[in-house]
């Protein structure tokens, strides 16, 4: 165990909140869990229910929150530019990766390990900046069955004859 501090990525919290995954692993984690302001922002952006927002408020209130500083913002831009030059990501992919880079660089600055389900993107960031990373693969879920024949998707317009 390299670091006594862990910053948990939003994908782990989403798996926990929406599917109940990782509860035991988080409870038994031999590290202090601290939060990234970036992760909390990602969670708020995706929250669809009031109870999710309350849960995020509790996360924020119950542990220290770290924010990226000027160095982390600058370095994240350098890493993303290098990935763009290597043609590893398109412009949308770079936008999506930016938050992961900020999470990783903030964790590195405070000496924390990043715990994520999304190892691939963080591995790409590690090609340019070393940081502690622990990947918890998300359990497989059965695919959502298609709607019954003739059923409309919510919000879909009826076909005109």
| Domains identified in the chain, total number | 1
Minimum mean pLDDT range among 73-77, 78-82, 133-137, 139-143: 139-143
Range 93-99 average pLDDT? 91
pLDDT at 71: 98
Does the CA dihedral 98-102-104-108 come out positive or negative?
A: positive
156 — pLDDT class (breaks 50, 70, 90): very low
In a domain, 157, yes or no: no
Look up the domain containing 107 and give its range.
5-135
> Chain centroid to CA 99: how far?
8
pLDDT band at 3 (very low <50, low <70, confident <90, very high): confident
- Is residue 128 situated within a structural domain? yes
Give domain status of residue 146, yes or no: no
Give me the CATH number covering residue 47: 3.40.50.1010
pLDDT at 45 over 50: yes
Is 92 among the domain residues? Answer: yes
**Torsion-angle region of 87 (φ positive above 0: left; ψ -120 to 50: alpha; else: beta):** left
* Among the ranges given (44-48, 67-71, 101-105), the one the predictor scored with the smallest mean pLDDT: 44-48
91, part of any domain: yes
Domain assignment of residue 68, yes or no: yes
On whether residue 154 sits in a domain, the answer given is no
Write out the E strands in the chain: 5-8, 32-36, 65-66, 112-116, 132-135
Q: What is the pLDDT of residue 141?
A: 63
Tell me whether residue 158 is in a domain.
no
- What is the SS3 assignment for 3? coil
């Amino acid at each position: 165990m390299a670091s006594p501090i862990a910053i948990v990525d939003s994908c782990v919290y989403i798996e926990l909140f929406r599917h109940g995954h990782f509860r035991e692993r988080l409870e038994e984690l031999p590290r202090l869990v601290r939060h990234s302001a970036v992760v909390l922002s990602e969670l708020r952006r995706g929250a669809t229910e009031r109870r999710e927002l309350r849960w995020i408020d509790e996360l924020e209130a119950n542990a220290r929150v770290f924010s990226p500083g000027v160095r982390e913002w600058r370095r994240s831009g350098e890493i993303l530019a290098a990935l763009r030059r290597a043609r590893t990501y398109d412009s949308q992919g770079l936008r999506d990766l930016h938050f992961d880079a900020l999470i990783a660089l903030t964790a590195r600055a405070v000496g924390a390990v990043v715990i994520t389900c999304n190892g691939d993107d963080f591995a790409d960031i590690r090609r340019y900046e070393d940081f502690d990373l622990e990947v918890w693969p998300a359990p497989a879920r059965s695919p959502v069955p298609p709607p019954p024949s003739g059923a409309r998707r919510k919000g879909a317009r009826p076909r005109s004859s």
